[in-house]
Amino acid sequence: MDERDRLVALHRCLDLLVRDYALAAEITGIVPDLRAGKIIGTATLFSIRARLPVGLLGPAPFDGELDEPSLGVVSGFGHMVLVDPEKPWKGGRWILKSESGQRYPLTLSTMLFDSSGVNKDSARREHREALEACVASATSQEADPFTVACALDWLLYDWLMAHREDPDSAAIQIPKGQESDAEMIVQTAGASVRARARIDPGLLSPIRTE
């Protein structure tokens, strides 16, 4: 196997495990605990990072529509912006709107750790609400599987990157008092795999590594 094949096999293995756990929790009615949320979150982050270099990640919401920031400090206001509030399955992302009206890409990590004057609890809540709305509408009749997959991947990736143990770690942490994040992570990760399986049914077929 070459490097690309190994990365594809890695992400498929992780996706199968994530799907199986999310489905088992749903069928049995078990609420994922902190340990499960951290493990599934870390597995999902590895899967996303494995798909990135082999071109298996679609565009994030608003890709190609935002301005490129220049070097230096950019002032403005960060907002969670949905692609279409009437179609939450299209997802959204954090956007910095400058005083001059330009719109720059932003992340939850920047909102939580690198911005001043930000209500961090409110930012986490807005992001989680966008995730939950995307999951809830992901199987609606009008929802496009590719758009759903891209939306879920980006929103969950942005969330997970902001909740790592430290900048050099992929271990996911869940803040004290936010234990319900574990269930949200598992549900979103499972929904992402299901959306991608609708595009590529072979994603969940047995893996051959010889």
The angle that helices 3-28 and 34-51 make with each other, rounded to 10 degrees, is 150
CA distance 10 to 192: 16
pLDDT at 204 over 90: no
**pLDDT confidence tier of residue 194, bands split at 50, 70 and 90:** very high
Distance, in Å, from the CA atom of 46 to the CA atom of 37, rounded to the nearest integer, reads 14
At 36 the three-state DSSP class reads: helix
Q: d(Cα 195, Cα 140) in Å, to the nearest integer?
A: 12
- Mean pLDDT is lowest, of 60-64, 124-128, 166-170, for 166-170
Per the structure block, which two tokens stand in for 37?
Answer: 């949320």
pTM for the structure as a whole = 0.91
The rounded distance, in Å, linking the Cα atoms of 152 and 99 is 30
Contact 138, 189 (CB under 8 A): no
User: Do 186 and 40 touch, CB atoms closer than 8 A?
Assistant: yes
Q: Residue 94 pairs with which residues in a beta bridge?
A: 80
Q: Tell which residue, 12, 6, 14, 16, has the closest CA to residue 43.
A: 14
CA angle 168–153–210, rounded 5-degree value: 80
pLDDT in tens, 69-107: 776 667 788 899 999 999 999 999 999 998 888 999 999
